[in-house]
Structure 1
Amino acid sequence: MSIALLDLCRWRLVPLLLGLLLNGCASLDYYAQLGQGQLALLSAREPVDKLLADPTRDAELKRRLALAQQARDFASRTLQLPDNRSYRLYADLERPYVVWNVFATPELSLAPLTHCFPIAGCVAYRGFYQQGRARGSAALLQERGLDTYVAGIEAYSTLGWFADPILNTMLRWGDERLAAVIFHELAHQQLYVADDTAFNESFASFVERQGLRQWRTARGLAPLAADEERQRRQFTELILASRERLQVLYGSVVSDEQKRQGKAAEFSRLRQDYVALRDSQWQGDTRYDAWINAPLNNARLLPFGLYDQWVDAFAGLFEQADGDWSRFYQRAAELAELPAEERDRALRALAASR
């Protein structure tokens, strides 16, 4: 979920409220929980500098937040990301994730069920501030015969409408992951295209990864372990290859029952290919075991196509800009202005160039 839809304290959101009312009463409950969740988040914020100066606050929390401020400064100074109050505040939501996103696809298709919102446009998921609501929504979709996947999300961007805080949910991971999330979410503030989730998430993922490389260099740390990056790329490629085979299967003229059998066989193959890759090239590293051993369906594969589809394309664009962030953002913005089909062709060409 990329943007909050309700906040009665902000006059700028009056047009959004009108848009929501036009969507009909059936949607009001969903939008109400969005508004309540966002307002609760905003109410929980406190300035990081004030927290750091408080001798009664937890020392480890203060260490993590001090590091986050260094990453925040680096994001604007070096990565040339927006310089505003976002991630200068902290909010403890007292839960492990800020929202839970529900992804859904038809049983025999990889096409996502999309949801359209004012400003944010159409996205391939629906967000809920309560895990129970997300699971309930997924259950209703399953009754309609859809594949579903509920994913806990540690952070999201309001695209500059509000000062997004550092959340306790962002502190569940290590120091580098914390910096990476800040880079990722600020990238959404830098550039966002309505109705193109793959573009937005791939852009932010590239900024996150390249930013993290430069962050490590600036701190005198060794480059990211080649094995770790290679494993992530190989795992992603494994999932995307499975998606491609499923796409061919679902587009074929065989019966639905044959497609179901082929789907089951493909997920079995995916697990076998994963085990072979892990044991032959990763020295038995099990970091992705939990994901691969969970129930697999079309919806579970969906985020890979969204978050990774154009990362190589943006890497190519960054190379063409000679590593200059300002030029890179300018060229990415030019891509964003293209009609959707032309934009995809340009991205495919950039990816192929690498």
Structure 2
Amino acid sequence: MKCSGPAPLDRVFSALVPVLGIFLLNGCSSLGYYGQLAEGQWQLLRARQPVEKVLADPASSAQLRVRLEHAEQARAFASRHLALPDNRSYRVYADLGRPYVVWNVFATPELSLQPVTHCFPIAGCVAYRGYYQKGAARGAAALMRQDGMDVYVGGVEAYSTLGWFDDPILSTMLGWGDERLATLIFHELAHQRFYLQDDTAFNESFATFVEQEGTRQWRAARGLAATDDSQAGQREQFTRLVLASRERLQGIYAGPLDDAHKRAAKQAEFARLRREYREVRDGEWGGDKRYDAWIYGPMNNAKLLPFGLYDQWVPAFAALFREVGRDWARFYERVEALGRLPVAERKAALTRLAGSL
């Protein structure tokens, strides 16, 4: 299962709250955990209906029909023009009757940014556990806190099973704008097109590039102007602030201070992050408070984990796309070839591509 996170922080947090697998399970966790995964997935599968059936149902609201019609146009564009899988995913709809489809639980040690990982046969090792019930996620988080861990719980509005099932458009996704809904379809279908086990930065950067370039082509095909880059610039700047804070924390935790002084330095670093955010928000951003809820909420190591995963290699994939003459089929062939390289060689190749911009 590959999840995409919530919309409240726009593309920043929805991109950065993860998105990793809890599908096809191994035998090293409790049967209760596996049971709730199986039951939750089964309930979602049972809730699916073909989009054409929903559109034809007189009980469907006019708003729902408009959103689904737009989504289906984007879905057709994805296969015809972006060479993404032509299957039943995002051609079915499921009304879940709740705000999130799953809740993900992230954890780290108190004085470390090393995530507690969980390994699964298809998705590989991932930095969280997913729960279909909010209460179950909170219960798991509470047990980890009792063990002295830093813990963060994030709601997720959509996920992909990487092509193992016909993934539906979910009712939890319909609060997004039409373009955000289209970009999610492009992103998740990219994961179905290629997914590399145990390399989250590669997978998310690849899918993010497909999403961005696909959206650009989608807008051009409809005669729309290019998107305003101001919000993207804010997202990038916000992400840089968090990554810089995370880097400083890494130095604190690896340094010679005793634990008491490390705890004090950790809290001072979070205060610095908030201060630097306020300076940017009230200066360059003209008081835009879109990230206030996140930055002023409870802060710990686990909350910082997802940042940077989605964007690290986007410039490399952009350069690769140009190298192949913007030909999607050739692009995917080259992506697959990169995925076959050993880790060190793959990172070196991506670094060279990124430097060629």
Task: Please report the TM-score for the alignment, with normalisation by the length of structure 2.
Answer: 0.90
Tell me if the contact between 1:69 and 1:88 (Cα under 8 Å) persists in the aligned partners.
yes
State the partner residue of 1:264: 267
Looking at structure 1, the residues matched to 111 and 22 of structure 2 have their Cα atoms a distance apart, in angstroms, of 32
SS at match of 2:287: coil
Q: Does 1:294 align with 2:272?
A: no
State the partner residue of 1:226: 229
Task: Please report the TM-score for the alignment, with normalisation by the length of structure 1.
Answer: 0.91
State the partner residue of 1:252: 255
Tell me if the contact between 1:213 and 1:223 (Cα under 8 Å) persists in the aligned partners.
yes
Tell me if the contact between 2:125 and 2:198 (Cα under 8 Å) persists in the aligned partners.
yes
State the partner residue of 1:83: 86
State the partner residue of 2:136: 133
State the partner residue of 1:114: 117
State the partner residue of 1:47: 50
Identical aligned residues as a percent:
65
State the partner residue of 1:180: 183
State the partner residue of 1:348: 351
Looking at structure 2, the residues matched to 31 and 141 of structure 1 have their Cα atoms a distance apart, in angstroms, of 18
SS at match of 1:172: coil
Q: CA deviation at 1:149?
A: 1.3
Give ranges in structure 2 of 5+ residues lacking alignment.
3-20
Amino acid at match of 2:282: D
Tell me if the contact between 1:206 and 1:311 (Cα under 8 Å) persists in the aligned partners.
yes
State the partner residue of 1:8: none
State the partner residue of 1:97: 100
CA-to-partner distance for each residue in 1:114-169, whole Å, 9 max, x for gaps? 10112221111111111111111111111111111111111111111111010001
Q: Does 1:309 align with 2:303?
A: no
State the partner residue of 2:165: 162
Looking at structure 2, the residues matched to 344 and 103 of structure 1 have their Cα atoms a distance apart, in angstroms, of 26
Q: 2:198 aligns with which of 180, 195, 200?
A: 195
Amino acid at match of 1:216: R
Q: CA deviation at 1:304?
A: 0.9
**In structure 2, do the counterparts of structure 1 residues 252 and 190 end up closer, same or farther at CA, with 3 Å as the change threshold?**
same
Q: CA deviation at 1:307?
A: 2.5
Looking at structure 2, the residues matched to 351 and 100 of structure 1 have their Cα atoms a distance apart, in angstroms, of 34
Amino acid at match of 2:110: E
Looking at structure 1, the residues matched to 345 and 198 of structure 2 have their Cα atoms a distance apart, in angstroms, of 15
SS at match of 2:190: helix
Amino acid at match of 1:34: L
Looking at structure 1, the residues matched to 194 and 208 of structure 2 have their Cα atoms a distance apart, in angstroms, of 12
Which range moved further: 167-176 or 205-214? Answer: 205-214
SS at match of 2:153: strand
Tell me if the contact between 2:22 and 2:129 (Cα under 8 Å) persists in the aligned partners.
no
Tell me if the contact between 1:37 and 1:129 (Cα under 8 Å) persists in the aligned partners.
yes
Tell me if the contact between 2:239 and 2:308 (Cα under 8 Å) persists in the aligned partners.
no
Question: CA RMSD for the aligned pairs?
Answer: 1.7
Give ranges in structure 1 of 5+ residues lacking alignment.
6-15
CA-to-partner distance for each residue in 1:55-95, whole Å, 9 max, x for gaps? 23111000000000001011111111111000000000111
Q: Number of aligned pairs?
A: 339
Looking at structure 1, the residues matched to 114 and 308 of structure 2 have their Cα atoms a distance apart, in angstroms, of 11
Looking at structure 2, the residues matched to 319 and 242 of structure 1 have their Cα atoms a distance apart, in angstroms, of 33
Q: Does 1:211 align with 2:220?
A: no
State the partner residue of 1:333: 336
Which range moved further: 197-206 or 285-294? Answer: 197-206
Q: Does 1:36 align with 2:47?
A: no
Tell me if the contact between 1:4 and 1:38 (Cα under 8 Å) persists in the aligned partners.
no
**In structure 2, do the counterparts of structure 1 residues 51 and 323 end up closer, same or farther at CA, with 3 Å as the change threshold?**
same
* More helix per residue: 1
Q: Does 1:153 align with 2:156?
A: yes
Which range moved further: 246-255 or 223-232? Answer: 246-255
SS at match of 1:281: coil
Tell me if the contact between 1:155 and 1:185 (Cα under 8 Å) persists in the aligned partners.
no
Amino acid at match of 1:141: M
